[in-house]
Structures are given as structure tokens and as C-alpha cells.
Amino acid sequence: MKKTIALCMIVKDEEKHLKKCLDSVASVVDQIVIVDTGSTDRTLEIAEQYQAEIHHFEWINDFSAARNKAIKYAHTDYILVLDADEYLPEDADLQNDISSEDDYYFVKIHNLLSGERALNHLAIRLFANHKGLNYKNRLHEHLDVTGEGAHLIAGHANSVIMHVGYTDDMMQDRNKANRNLALILKGAEEDPSAYNLFNLGRTYFWVGEYQKAMTFLKKAYSLSKGLTILPELVTTLCKALGELKRYEEALVILIDAVNVYPNETDLLHLKALFFKEIGYKKDAIRTMEACIELGDQGITVSEGNGGYIAHLRLAEWYEEVNQIEKSYAHIEQALHMKNDLTVGIYKYVEILSKAGVTGEDAYLSIKNLYPLSGIQSLKNIIEVFYSLKSPLLLHCLNEYAVNVEEHITALALQYAKRYTEARKMWLALNSIPEVNGIDVIVLAILQEDIELLNKGFMALNLSKSEKKAITSLVTRESHKEFKVTSTLEKVFDYILVQLIKLQEFEVFEQVLNNVWDSSKELNFIICKRLMEYGFSDTALDLLMNEYQKRPNEFNSVELLARICEKQEQPENAIFFYARLVEKRSNYKDYENLYNFYELSGDKNNAKMISDYIREAYPLCEWVREKNA
């Protein structure tokens, strides 16, 4: 037999969202109850179009009081609670959800975030009427199903509630955390329950007061045994520790928490991120892979943490150590899971460039993974190509006949190697955007063009000595009597990378000869870029000369070891990693050394290193499991 359902809402000035909400429920509920707390816009006019029962409530800074007034007017078997910025998707089947006739139901709330992501959490939004159930708490109100004498049966609904109120614009408009802090404080003072203390701690986290957040989250933790908020509480506590760079403390908590809550993906994902922060590469990768195996699960879970975001993280991590094939495999998986992920396509294009895949092959590969099905997707891919200075930008603009600003066309022409046309456009512009000043300088170096160089200088804030150093790259004059400032270091780095991507190797060599040895930091950056873009032999030769002069420059020694690893020279890699262990002795050096002892079949030294890691680094998991 069909059960009746009432929608109960509290509203104030919700004309922007209310129609979509009520449209989504009009055919599935039998009664609509709306309690208005003082609307001055068209909210009530919209509500009347749906034959809603409208009641007025004088606002007393208490959401529970307003909620309880709304449910008081329901005369149905069940009650559905929605906010105005929520709605039911077309496939929602509330009758199927309540067919088990449980007392209350956890419903998944799908919070749509900016940046193409979502956050899912469970909340009680569907419950039986006439059971004496009421809401508690002034703010972050919740249905009290644990009261004294309550013997209620819980169920889980298959329907999902969509929530648009977490997008960046809405969060900025409402500024919820700061607006509500005083109200939450008052609620926690009146009733220092686990739930109130948790919400207070979470609010302090949102406003960036991490120490205060931890204080109240720890108080809430001691009162939260058996409550559904515990996994999210622990996640928020550990995030606060992470914001304070206290990763090891967070990991102690997370390692235990994951054992207690093995199906909470967000806990596992955070654990992987913090392993990465402290240099535990093997544990970070193993834990992130476990996220993928688990999938998006948990009472609260950020969409993709067990799927496309986990693959994106692994793609980034493998790219960092120049394992481009593994990086490519993971970013491809991420885009198969979510093909409209702009940050994913950005990474994909970047990895293709480093792998040397260019031209039509790259363009077709990108279009297959990222279908250009509308204006927004086209805008996104143009922004990706523009940001990466990709030669595919011009291809895309021409294929889709897109009209863009002149500086974008000039840049597209330049990185498609149509230098004469690009030069003409740059010089014709009245002013060049600051972000493109350095691109104009790249073209000036390629064309040995002082006029173009001066045009680029006009867009940038450079000192006289910095301009003199850059000018020497255009005139091809040797000029090494300059101090490499942080700005100049970035400029040289950018120029050299673009010359590599443009495959202008003769000019690259000329620039390299001019800037090499101007600073040891710049030498390191150059070698790192050469390795990233597939020129490991050249990087190795340059670094070996560096090592002879500066054997204790640890960054260079580590890069030497990584290049030897890439070049499949395990003995040399072991030598350099062993030197790092000897000189600076940090965890990642021991892990790398262990990997190469194992790879080379040196079981005795591998065991010696793993035994040391197990004793010296108790947070390390892979070594404990290996020796279990």
C-alpha cells in the first residue's frame, strides 16, 4: 500500500532555487509544508504555485525550532526534509525507499562543488511521522534518533538528494562559516554534546583557526563513541594537523582510524597524501592504490577520492620521478572515469608533451578522451592549450573557427612555429598582457629581435641588470657577470623549457652556454628540465661535471641518482643514493637505496636497509608488512 509523504522546508529569500526544488518533488509528495522566516523576494509567490501550505515563523536564531514547526504541520505517513538549494533527480523513487517501513532513512546528499567535483555524505532526511522525532541544535540541526527510550529502526534510501549550495559563488555569497560561528559557539555552550563540539571544531577549521579546531574536535572525539560523525571528525582533525604541517601526528591517528573504519575512502586518501608529504613514496602509492580498489565509499566521501582523483594523484606522483609511462596510464584512467575533468586534461596534455607526443597524434588522442561537446568544453580545452603554450592551440582555434583576443592568436601562432606572423601581431598590439611578456621575449630570442625584446620588456617589471642579462640572450653576447635573482632564474627556466618544447635545439644550446654556471641553483633546474623532457644523457653529462665541483650539493646528487635510475644504471644509482644516506640520512634516501639493492638482487644489503627503516621509521607500513 502506498505511503503518503510530506515535504517540509524552512525558507528565506530563496527565489533563485525554490522552483527547481519544488518541480523535482511535486509529483512524488502528497503535501508541501513551507515555514518562511522572513522572505522579502518572490519566494512565497513561487511556493503558492505548488499549493504549498505556508506558515510564518519569527526567526530566533534556531534552525531546529523552525524545522520542528514545519514537521508539526505534516499529516502524512512519512516526512521528507529538503533545503531550497536541493532537489531530487528524476530517477528518485521515494516509495521504493520507504517500502521497508523503517523509522528513518539515511539519504546520500550529493553536494555539487566548483571545480567539477562533488562531496557525498549521508544524512537523515526521510523519516516516519508521528514517532515523536524532533530536531536538535540551533545550527547544523539534526534529527534526534538517539534520545532516551528510542528504539528505532534505521534504513538506507537509494534515492539521492542533489545540493548546489556548496559551489564557490554560493559559499562566497553566504559566507556561512563566519556568519554562523557565534551561533555555533552559543549552541556548544548550552549543550556541549559531541555533535555540537564537532560542528564548532569543523567551523573553526573552515575559517582557518586550526589550533582551535583541534581543541574542540578532540573534545568531541571523546564523546563520539558509536556515532556516525566519527570518520568525518577524524578526517577534519587530521586535516587541521596537516594545515599546521604536523603530518606525522596526523598519520599516527590515520593509521589507527583506517583500521577501525576500513571502508572510509576519505581517511585512506588523506593518509596517502600525508605519506607523500613526508617522503614515504612507497606507502603513499600503495595507499592511493588501495583507495582505487576501495572506490568512493564512506559516510562522507569526496567524489573521485577512490577513483579519478586517486588516478590523477598517482599520475602527478609518477611524473615527479619521471616515470612517464606509469603517469600516462593513470591520467588516462582518470579521464576515462571523468572525461570532463579539466585539471585531468591539463595533466594529460602536459604528459604527452614530456613523452614527445605532438602534432595530429596528440590532438586526436586528446579529443578522444575529452569530447568537445559544447561551448564550455571548448573554452576549457582552449584555456588548457593556452596555459601550456601548446602548439595545438592554433589547431583548435582554426578547426572550430573561434574568435579570440589578438594576444591569444599571437601566442597560438608563436607556439605553432609561425614566427613571422606571431611577431607581426605582437608588435601591432598597443600593449601586451603581463603574462605574455615572457613569451614575447622567447620569440625575440628566436628571431634575435631587439625591437620585439623591448616590446616584451614593457609588459614586465624587470630591473636594469635583469634586462641586460636577458638582452645578452638575444644578441648572443657572452654576459655572465650578472647576479641571478629569483626573477631571472624563473625567466631563464621558462625560456629554456619553451625552447625544448619548440625543438629549437640550436638556440637552446646557445642560451644554455650563456646562462650555465651563473648559479648552482639554475644549473640544477636546467638539468631537471632536461631529464623531464627526455634529454637524460645531456643532463647526466652536465651533472657529473657539477658533482666533480660540488660533491655535497644534495639536490644534484639526488637528481644524478634518479637519472641513473632512468638510464638503467643500478650500480651508479646505488652509489649516489648511498652517498645521500651517508651525508644527510633521511627516509626517502633509505627507501630509494633499498629499492635498488632489491632490484640488483643484493638481498643482504636490502635486508640491512629494511631492518634499519623498520626500527628508525615506525610509521612506515610497507617494511612492517614485508617483515611480518
CATH classification of the domain holding 60: 3.90.550.10
Given a contact cutoff of 8 angstroms between Cβ atoms, the answer to whether 123 and 106 are in contact is: yes
Burial class (CB in 10 A: 0-12, 13-18, 19+), 448: middle
Percent with pLDDT over 90 in the chain: 74
Given a contact cutoff of 8 angstroms between Cβ atoms, the answer to whether 235 and 216 are in contact is: no
Structurally, the chain folds into a number of domains equal to: 4
Please list, in sequence order, all residues whose beta carbon lies within 8 angstroms of the beta carbon of residue 345, skipping any fewer than 6 positions away: 335, 366, 369, 370, 380, 381, 384
Task: Using the predicted structure, report yes or no on whether residue 346 has a pLDDT greater than 50.
Answer: yes
The stretch 362-371 carries a mean pLDDT of: 88
For residues 264 and 268, give the distance between their C-alpha atoms in angstroms, rounded to a whole number.
Answer: 7
624 and 528 in a common domain: yes
Give the DSSP letter of residue 131: S
Given a contact cutoff of 8 angstroms between Cβ atoms, the answer to whether 501 and 439 are in contact is: no
Beta strand segments in 88-181, E: 104-112, 118-128, 135-136, 142-143, 154-163
**Per-residue pLDDT reduced to its tens digit, 539-597:** 999 999 999 998 889 999 999 999 998 888 888 999 999 999 988 879 999 999 999 89
Q: What is the pLDDT of residue 378?
A: 92
Residue with cell 582554426: 398
User: For residue 567, what is the domain's CATH number?
Assistant: 1.25.40.10
| Cell numbers placing 374 | 559544447
349 and 428 in a common domain: no
Give the amino acid at 382.
I
The stretch 256-284 carries a mean pLDDT of: 97
**Per-residue pLDDT reduced to its tens digit, 371-395:** 888 888 899 999 999 999 999 999 9
Comparing C-alpha atoms, which of 596, 598, 594 is closest to residue 611? Answer: 594
Q: Which residues pair with 567 in a beta bridge?
A: none
**C-alpha distances in Å from residue 354, one per residue of 218, 350, 390, 490:** 46, 6, 12, 19
611 and 533 in a common domain: yes
Q: Which of 379, 411, 443 is the last residue of a domain?
A: 411
pTM for this model (two decimals): 0.83
Q: What is the pLDDT of residue 17?
A: 94
Identify the H or E element spanning 33: strand 31-36
Given a contact cutoff of 8 angstroms between Cβ atoms, the answer to whether 112 and 131 are in contact is: no
Classify the C-alpha dihedral 425-426-429-435 as positive or negative: positive
79 and 109 in a common domain: yes
Task: Encode 473-490: b = buried (16+ Cβ within 10 Å), e = exposed.
Answer: bbeeeebeebebeeebbe
Q: What is the pLDDT of residue 369?
A: 87
Q: Residue 451 phi/psi, 5° resolution?
A: -60, -45
Residue with cell 536564531: 61
CA 242-247-249 angle, 5° bins: 110
Sorting pLDDT into bands at 50, 70 and 90, what band is 261?
very high
For residues 472 and 585, give the distance between their C-alpha atoms in angstroms, rounded to a whole number.
Answer: 42
Tell me what the pLDDT averaged over the chain comes to: 92
For residues 121 and 301, give the distance between their C-alpha atoms in angstroms, rounded to a whole number.
Answer: 6
Q: Which of 477, 497, 518 is the last residue of a domain?
A: 518
Q: Which of 518, 553, 574 is the last residue of a domain?
A: 518
Domain around 475:
417-518
Question: By mean pLDDT, which of 17-31, 32-46, 353-367 is the weakest?
Answer: 353-367
344 and 234 in a common domain: yes
Describe the crossing of helices 437-447 and 406-415 by its angle, rounded to 10 degrees. 40
Residue with cell 576500513: 262
Q: Residue 386 phi/psi, 5° resolution?
A: -65, -45
Q: What is the pLDDT of residue 435?
A: 94
For residues 181 and 200, give the distance between their C-alpha atoms in angstroms, rounded to a whole number.
Answer: 8
Residue with cell 570518520: 231
For residues 60 and 527, give the distance between their C-alpha atoms in angstroms, rounded to a whole number.
Answer: 65
Task: Using the predicted structure, report yes or no on whether residue 628 has a pLDDT greater than 70.
Answer: no
**Per-residue pLDDT reduced to its tens digit, 89-109:** 999 999 999 999 999 999 999
Q: What is the pLDDT of residue 592?
A: 92
428 and 299 in a common domain: no
447 and 299 in a common domain: no
CA 473-476-478 angle, 5° bins: 90
Sorting pLDDT into bands at 50, 70 and 90, what band is 522?
very high
Given a contact cutoff of 8 angstroms between Cβ atoms, the answer to whether 452 and 426 are in contact is: yes
**Per-residue pLDDT reduced to its tens digit, 156-213:** 999 999 998 766 454 544 455 666 787 788 888 888 999 899 999 998 998 889 999 9
Burial class (CB in 10 A: 0-12, 13-18, 19+), 374: exposed
509 and 477 in a common domain: yes
Question: By mean pLDDT, which of 431-435, 476-480, 487-491, 497-501 is the weakest?
Answer: 476-480
- Give the chain's length: 628
**Residue 341, helix vs strand vs coil:** coil
DSSP per residue over 247-302, as a string? HHHHHHHHHHHHHH-TT-HHHHHHHHHHHHHTT-HHHHHHHHHHHHHH-S-SSEEE
529 and 501 in a common domain: no
For residues 207 and 225, give the distance between their C-alpha atoms in angstroms, rounded to a whole number.
Answer: 27
435 and 360 in a common domain: no
| Cell numbers placing 340 | 570532463
For residues 10 and 36, give the distance between their C-alpha atoms in angstroms, rounded to a whole number.
Answer: 6
251 and 366 in a common domain: yes
Given a contact cutoff of 8 angstroms between Cβ atoms, the answer to whether 539 and 565 are in contact is: no
Distance between the two ends of the chain, CA-based, in angstroms?
57
| Cell numbers placing 421 | 606572423
**Residue 126, helix vs strand vs coil:** strand
373 and 439 in a common domain: no
